[in-house]
Structure 1
């Protein structure tokens, strides 16, 4: 039986953006799928027309949503998450709900201290208004270029923005930002779990939203666990690495790592 793979998108991208990855992983012998977040519709267009359905879903609600999907699978899946999807993947792995996880440019978990200026600027469209905690927020093409697609051409950035972006709930960003002041933060991950499956963290050297320093700080949070925790850095990539023209190399990196760990 093929091993299930669950792809988890982050803020501002629709689940269908994983389409090429699903084909690649299926060809490699896996059984992949990419469900949306709570409130996401089946298409980019429908999701844009109904931003209120996406609003006000926090980290715990998203984790519970994907945990329920995991429970329907014939065996524990491999999780591949991008941005906040990477945080969700780490939460589920820490709960022993997955065989392994790959967290690509993952949003900061509780305990990660550096918040570089570029990350603050990238998320300013949400934080400029406290009411956005309970709303959904969209990115303009210019904001998307800074936050996601600064490492590709402006022409490609505009194409990606038009094709894949949807409104995103502001609540997860507020929860992550206050995580280190909240003992019960939903951004807390069980980084000390000794029995969990392997974890690969992927950092992008040009990422404005989740700079490499954030991913390296995330790695340090796992220092008290003997479970496998690896890191790979792609120096010339930005936050759009899973959807831009360079995505095949990232997918191949993931598949190679899975093979190395007999997954």
Structure 2
């Protein structure tokens, strides 16, 4: 009887241990499956917002957009308000008053709303007037990093360089009505944007990109709407210029950069890079990928450093 009872007890213990082993195995399999699901769940793609400048269609970013997308980024290159559509459509008179009434504040707010809809702060890259918009958005802490590419300066930063004055004399229209749009002429385009290019390229890009512009937006850069607080802390900001840019000469970009550096808040990063032989339409010159790569590498490096500094400050 004792032997039989002992056998029964041993059997029960084996069954009991088997149950716990099975339970343990089940838990391990479940945990492994959850880990695998987590590792296979794709992280949201980092977003790059490409901000267009004045005078041209947002299609000017098409090559950059495709290039960054091929590297795995979510890329947005929105048209300005009332500038959606083809170049031919926007050049028709029926759209004129909508563009003419546009203001700088409206354009900045429009981009801010797009950014606010994103899951995280994006990388901001703005060309020409888009570079000023980047600076104004950085004042609102809208970007993880910002790149002002051949950027229009903020209020109070100017140059007396002849090419700058000549390029903007027509667009600003000192004696013209702001109730009508301004369409850059082909000869103005050749001097201000595409100097140094073959004439066939100059004409092709003129037909492909140039659209009517609001003089109200242009004048906004010279008013309160274009003002930047250089003392305000900001995310990393890079100024990129071109040595042969007529409308926004390198000396003007450097002047803006130096204004930031002079008043820079502790912890803020502001840097400057000049590329030789680049005109104002550098985004479409044959070696544009060199600049696109430099800008992206700079953005990722400084974004990472900023995050590390933030985490260190919280410890």
Asked if Structure 1 and Structure 2 have the same fold, meaning a TM-score greater than 0.5 normalized by the shorter chain, the answer is: yes
CA distances 1:150-188 after superposition (whole Å, capped 9, x unpaired): 032222111111111111111222233x44xxxxx1111
Richer in helix (by share): 2
- 1:92-114 deviation per Cα after TM superposition (whole angstroms, max 9, x unaligned): 01210111111111101123132
Report what 1:145 is aligned to. 190
The answer for the alignment partner of 1:94 in structure 2 is 139
How far apart, in 2, do the equivalents of 1:174 and 1:116 lie? 19
Q: 2:178 is paired with a residue of what secondary structure?
A: helix
Give how far 1:125 is off.
1.8
- Equivalence for 1:213: 251
Conserved 8 A contact 1:10-1:83: yes
Is 1:241 the equivalent of 2:282? yes
Q: 3-state DSSP class of the match of 2:291?
A: helix
Quote the Cα distance in structure 2 between the aligned partners of 1:230 and 1:48: 38
SS at match of 1:208: coil
Structure-2 separation of matches of 1:175 and 1:24: 32
> Does 2:21 align with 1:21?
no
1:209, distance to aligned residue in structure 2 (A): 0.6
1:112 aligned residue: 157
Given that 1:104 and 1:202 are in contact with CA atoms closer than 8 Å, whether structure 2 keeps it comes out as yes
Which residue is 2:218 aligned to? 173
Offset of 1:60 from its aligned partner?
A: 0.9
CA distance in structure 1 between the partners assigned to 2:238 and 2:128 by the alignment: 13
Q: For the residues of structure 1 that align with 2:247 and 2:55, how far apart are their CA atoms? A: 12
Residue matched to 1:188: 227
| 1:182 alignment counterpart | none
Aligned partners of 1:242 and 1:78: how far apart in 2? 17
SS at match of 2:293: helix
| In structure 2, C-alpha distance between the alignment counterparts of 1:165 and 1:82, rounded to whole Å | 14
Matching residue of 1:74: 119
CA distance in 1, matches of 2:142, 2:47: 12
How far is 1:129 from its partner?
4.6
Secondary structure at the aligned position of 2:283 is classed as coil
Query: 1:36 pairs with 76, 79, 93, which one?
Result: 79
SS of aligned partner of 2:239: strand
- Between the aligned partners of 2:60 and 2:89, the Cα distance in structure 1 is 15
**Unmatched 5+ residue regions in structure 1?**
180-184
Q: Which residue of 1 aligns with 2:235?
A: 197
CA distance in 1, matches of 2:133, 2:140: 11
CA contact (8 A) 1:133 1:174 kept: no
- CA RMSD, Structure 1 to Structure 2 (Å): 1.6
2:97–2:179 contact (8 Å) kept in structure 1: no
- Residue 45 of structure 2: aligned partner: 2
* Rounded Cα–Cα distance in structure 2 between residues aligned with 1:112 and 1:53: 29
SS of the residue 2:91 aligns to: helix
User: Quick check: 2:145–2:303 contact (8 Å CA) kept in 1?
Assistant: no
Task: Give 1:262 shift.
Answer: 4.5
User: In terms of mean alpha carbon deviation, does 165-174 or 94-103 score higher?
Assistant: 165-174
Contact 2:123 2:299 in 1 (8 A): no
| 82-91 vs 241-250, greater mean Cα deviation | 241-250
The match for 1:255 is: 296
Q: Among residues 56, 65, 73, which one is paired with 2:110 in the alignment? A: 65
